[in-house]
Amino acid sequence: MLLSPDQEMIRDAVRAFAREQLWPHAARWDREHTFPHEAHRGLAALGCYGVCVPTEYGGAGLDYLSLAVVLEEIAAGDGGTSTAISVNNCPVCAILLRYGSEAQKQRWLVPLAQGQMLGAFCLTEPHVGSDAAALRTTARREGDTYVLDGVKQFITSGKNGQVAIVIAVTDKAAGKRGMSAFIVPTDTPGYIVARLEDKVGQHSSDTAQIRLENCRIPVENRIGEEGEGYKIALSALEGGRIGIAAQSIGMARSALEVAIDYAKQRESFGKPIWEHQAVGFRLADAAAKLEAARQLTWHAAALRDAGRPCLKEAAMAKLIASETAEGVCSVAIQTLGGYGYVSDFPVERIWRDVRVCQIYEGTSDVQKILIQRAL
Ligand SMILES: CC(C)(COP(=O)(O)OP(=O)(O)OC[C@H]1O[C@@H](n2cnc3c(N)ncnc32)[C@H](O)[C@@H]1OP(=O)(O)O)[C@@H](O)C(=O)NCCC(=O)NCCSC(=O)CCS(=O)O
């Protein structure tokens, strides 16, 4: 698949930003667990917060292929930053765009797409991950308000975000049709950041456990009708998975570039290790697999842009890209030998950052469920 001249221009602009403003700082953000506010402001100014949101709602008015390109470039600069931006785009902005009322779009989508706010998505719970229909968090209607109670787990930007979309049970007896989606500003009393997870990687983005304790929000913050929450969540995850696939590719691409540079400089047995077939073939293999994953991802994005079903293709893209990316990072480490395993070089960090792409927004096994169903 080819990018259009406009998509190439967008790629080049975000790539330049990522090379100058993300990549040089990523190791320090990782070490110091820093959320890079300044870099986020720069990415927001570039239109990265609401890539597929129409311009009348504050977005860049582009398509999913452009979003995939943007996320690959951000991830090539810093994995954790790409995750926060990915979640903000999809599921968060995507849900408000597709299911939000006009008033909700004006109140929440516009600032989220412009980057004045950062969004979080609260589906997963401590005891409920893949089986997303088994949620326990409840939303009880009381007059003109809903009162939310429960615990949400592994929430990207749960602390640094200003608004969260929360999926909660409104009618237990109705099962999958008994869940609803709500907009919860994170400064609402009862929205409690219970803890920040101590993660293997992606230290530049916060992952929080959120306790909702008597958290009262107005009825107008419900998205869509009561009972539509599960469908809203699953439909948004479809697009989100294209984003995670693209991120995986971006992170792995950077690791591969480091490995190629190293292999061309490092000498053993009288010549650069690049000239040893064992090393060169390993890197060639990694580059080929990465390009295949990119093409699968772009294909899923193009289907979505064409308004065609892409549930299976999005699942395939996430499965293949995230698993390929870990393999490519491992090859990069192998190429650097001992130096690949220490923090003097970036490949161990990228390997840590990319590992979670096989887990969040649906594990590899969940992607296989979706693919198998479509066969
Ligand atoms: C494992 C699952 C795939 C199982 O799904 P189900 O079998 O329970 O769901 P269905 O019965 O197929 O669908 C229910 C309902 O939704 C509609 N639906 C489903 N997919 C779509 C779609 N892509 N677009 C539109 N609508 C859709 C479907 O038609 C049904 O509607 P009706 O009832 O017929 O009207 C599923 O549970 C699953 O995906 N599990 C994984 C959950 C997951 O990814 N969790 C991670 C969450 S985010 C996270 O990790 C935190 C990181 S971050 O901060 O984002």
Q: State pLDDT tens for residues 139-150.
A: 999 999 999 999
What confidence score (pLDDT) does residue 99 get? 98
Ligand 1 centre distance from Cα of residue 94 (Å) = 15
Beta bridge partners of 216: 147
Enumerate residues lining ligand 1, CB below 6 A: 87, 121, 123-124, 130, 132-133, 154-156, 176-177, 230-231, 234-235, 237-238, 311, 360-362, 366, 369-370
Tens of pLDDT along 114-146? Answer: 999 999 999 999 999 999 999 999 999 999 999
Closest atom of ligand 1 to CA, residue 156: 54
| Torsion angles phi and psi, residue 259, rounded to 5 | -65, -40
Amino acid residing at 198: D
Spatial separation of the C-alpha atoms in residues 168 and 124, rounded to whole Å: 10
Tens of pLDDT along 177-206? Answer: 999 999 999 999 999 999 999 999 999 999
What confidence score (pLDDT) does residue 28 get? 98
- Cβ atoms of residues 68 and 242 within 8 Å: yes
Token pair 């009322």 in the structure block, residue:
101
Tens of pLDDT along 241-257? Answer: 999 999 999 999 999 99
What confidence score (pLDDT) does residue 92 get? 98
Closest atom of ligand 1 to CA, residue 359: 50
Tens of pLDDT along 248-289? Answer: 999 999 999 999 999 999 999 999 999 999 999 999 999 999
Tens of pLDDT along 274-327? Answer: 999 999 999 999 999 999 999 999 999 999 999 999 999 999 999 999 999 999
Probe target for ligand 1 pocket from 234, 308, 358, with the most ligand atoms within 8 Å of CB:
234
Which residue, judged by its Cα, is nearest atom 7 of ligand 1? 133
- All structural domains of the chain: 5-118 (1.10.540.10), 120-227 (2.40.110.10), 231-373 (1.20.140.10)
What confidence score (pLDDT) does residue 212 get? 98
Taking the model in full, what pTM does it have?
0.97
Ligand 1 centre distance from Cα of residue 101 (Å) = 22
Ligand 1 centre distance from Cα of residue 272 (Å) = 50
313 in active site: no
Tens of pLDDT along 349-372? Answer: 999 999 999 999 999 999 999 999
Spatial separation of the C-alpha atoms in residues 257 and 269, rounded to whole Å: 23
Whole-number average pLDDT of the chain: 98
Transcribe 249-305 into DSSP letters. Answer: HHHHHHHHHHHHHHHHH-EETTEEGGGSHHHHHHHHHHHHHHHHHHHHHHHHHHHHH
- Cβ atoms of residues 318 and 370 within 8 Å: no
The ipTM of this complex is 0.96
- Cβ atoms of residues 251 and 73 within 8 Å: no
Percent of the chain's residues with pLDDT above 70: 100
Percent of the chain's residues with pLDDT above 90: 100
What confidence score (pLDDT) does residue 284 get? 98
Ligand 1 centre distance from Cα of residue 336 (Å) = 41
Give the pairing type, strands 145-156 and 138-142: antiparallel
Region of residue 115 (left: phi > 0; alpha: psi -120 to 50; beta: else): left
Query: CA of 330: how far to CAs of 47, 347, 357, 358, in Å?
Result: 33, 8, 15, 15
The one catalytic residue among 72, 125, 228, 361: 361
Confidence band (pLDDT; 50, 70, 90) for 10?
very high
Beta bridge partners of 149: 138
- Cβ atoms of residues 78 and 22 within 8 Å: yes
